[in-house]
Amino acid sequence: MRFLLFILAAMTLTAAPVLGAAEGGSIFGVWLTEGGASKLEIAPCGDNKACARVIWIKNPTYVNGKDGPVGTEKIDRQNPDPSLRSRPILGLQVMEGLTLEGEWWKNGSCYDPQTGRTYQCKMQLESPTELKLRGFIGFSLLGRSYTLTRDQSESSRTVLNRAQRNGFP
């Protein structure tokens, strides 16, 4: 009997960290960009894919006349397609088509509205609160890495719960 209790206690203690990691072990949710200028919501899209859109901007209007008319909503001014240059940055989809391969989400594209450029990208969950994002052209070695920090607010947990209900990791 003592042996059985020992086994149950050992299983409980070893399972606790795994269960806790599973709660924060998803890329889905709300992430703060480096520097805290914006928040991205990463959510399931399409067939087992991940996408992201801008859901918050620290300064949602232009504050410098060089960037755009002061006081007006920031728009996708740098887009190479003139017909898309009037789209608001807030709500803009900036990542699409990422699929899970092992520990990495790969084969997607990331759009940078500040430059109007689209890059190949991949990302990996470094910890429950840090997501490593790599944007590149051609080869992953020729690119730049960013670290996103999980937003711990209720809205972030709602996105994560919705993704888990839909069968995403």
Domain 26-165 grouped into CATH 2.40.128.520:
yes
- Position of tokens 């070893």? 14
156-167 confidence digits (pLDDT tens): 555 556 655 656
What's the pLDDT score for residue 19? 29
Determine whether 160 is exposed, middle or buried from the number of CB atoms within 10 Å of its CB (0-12, 13-18, 19+).
buried
User: How much is the pLDDT for 157?
Assistant: 55
Task: Delimit the domains of the chain by residue range.
Answer: 26-165
- Please identify every stretch of the chain with a pLDDT value under 70, giving residue numbers as ranges: 1-24, 154-169
The answer to whether 117 and 98 are in contact (CB under 8 A) is no
Structure tokens belonging to residue 87: 């789209």
pTM: 0.77
For 9-25, b/e burial (b = at least 16 CB within 10 A) is eeeeeeeeeeeeeeeee
